[in-house]
Amino acid sequence: MSVGIVQEQTVTLNVDLRLESGRILGPITQVYESYGTLNADASNAILVAHAWTGSAHLAGRSFEGDTKVGWWDAIVGPGKLLDTDRYFVICPNVIGSCYGSTGPASINPKTGKRYNLTFPVITVRDMVRAQALLLDHLGINKLVTVLGGSMGGMQALEWGTQFPDRVASIIALATTAAPSPQAISLNAIARWAIFNDPDWKKGEYRKNPKDGLALARGIGHITFLSDESMQSKFGRRYSAKDGFFDFFGKFEVERYLNYNGYNFVDRFDTNSFLYLAKALDLYDVSLGYESLHEALDQIRCPVQLFAFSSDWLYPPYQTEIMATVLKELGKEVEYHLISSPYGHDAFLLEHETFAPQLSGFLEKVQPPGRQKL
């Protein structure tokens, strides 16, 4: 059953947030969507954290006739995995994004102009601290869980380490404690594509530098897939529109990347893409700690980790390292390796592969009898 029409909500907090860089950001606008009803003692809230180019539009439709549902609509709603008859589910758009929360495309109140590259470098930890301010505003002191995949999983880890008293559990899918040099190098090439587009103008563009951003997105999109999924979806099929020996002829996989790259230009801001990519590259859950052990020792709640067999962006061994450390620390942790051909995007495409384990985990964290609607 669908959650139906959902209106995004906007809150501007007149605060000064000290960032990891030492710079101050404020006031802060945050866009979010919520589903279900917050109970009397605000004890049934779940925060879902989105990935790199995601948004607050987690589930449902934005208006009558909308043909596109939220990015994780399959798991949010009455009777679904995140049952909105039971939980109050909230999905905030991260700072740094271009979907309403304060980011480089926002107007700097001090100058009356877009921030562009005057926007400070932000980290995943900064995103989570901003979310904590939003929850303060909403009167939510503790979450049943923080759930997310990829960059959303990083946010879940940060909630567990930075706000251990405010989460009853964390669930991280297809994520890492720190991106590998390979992951960073792929983002570096994406940045070059944008920097070398003459329309970028060092961030002072009037319209998106479409060629650079489309190429950058194409590079990123390859990392979300797997060899098996690309074989299944495209094989070596050559475009029926092109002659086989046409120099500019394309394989179907090329046409797919071209379509997705240029389609992305119409919905995402280039500077936001760059800032969020930088936040991904800088991410390290042990930042400020002596070791991964010391960082993960801050967590005081049950942890559930999922990795997907064909994910080569954040491969399973990276999740297994975290699971091993948590076990060595005596933490309550579950690790599930899901066999999937869909690569990094499996957490978005195959919810049925992890739903039983996730549902059982939530039942242990907050049994139905504790609900006070």
The active-site residue out of 311, 336, 340, 345 is: 311
What whole-number distance in Å separates Cα of residue 179 and Cα of residue 283? 7
What whole-number distance in Å separates Cα of residue 373 and Cα of residue 38? 8
What whole-number distance in Å separates Cα of residue 19 and Cα of residue 341? 38
Q: Going by DSSP bridges, is the β-strand pair 76-77/82-83 parallel, antiparallel, or unpaired?
A: parallel
The active-site residue out of 43, 101, 150, 310 is: 150
Residue 221 is among the residues annotated as catalytic for this protein: no
What whole-number distance in Å separates Cα of residue 125 and Cα of residue 222? 27
Residue 344 is among the residues annotated as catalytic for this protein: yes
Q: Where do runs of H (alpha helix) occur along 196-349?
A: 210-224, 227-233, 252-265, 270-282, 292-296, 316-328, 346-349
Which of 44, 167, 83, 138 lies closest to 157, judged by CA?
167
The active-site residue out of 50, 57, 336, 344 is: 344
Residue with tokens 């906007």: 10
111 alpha-carbon distance from chain centroid: 30
Q: Where do runs of H (alpha helix) occur along 139-250?
A: 151-162, 181-195, 210-224, 227-233
Which of 361, 354, 294 lies closest to 326, judged by CA?
294
Residue 336 is among the residues annotated as catalytic for this protein: no
Residues assigned a catalytic role:
150, 311, 344
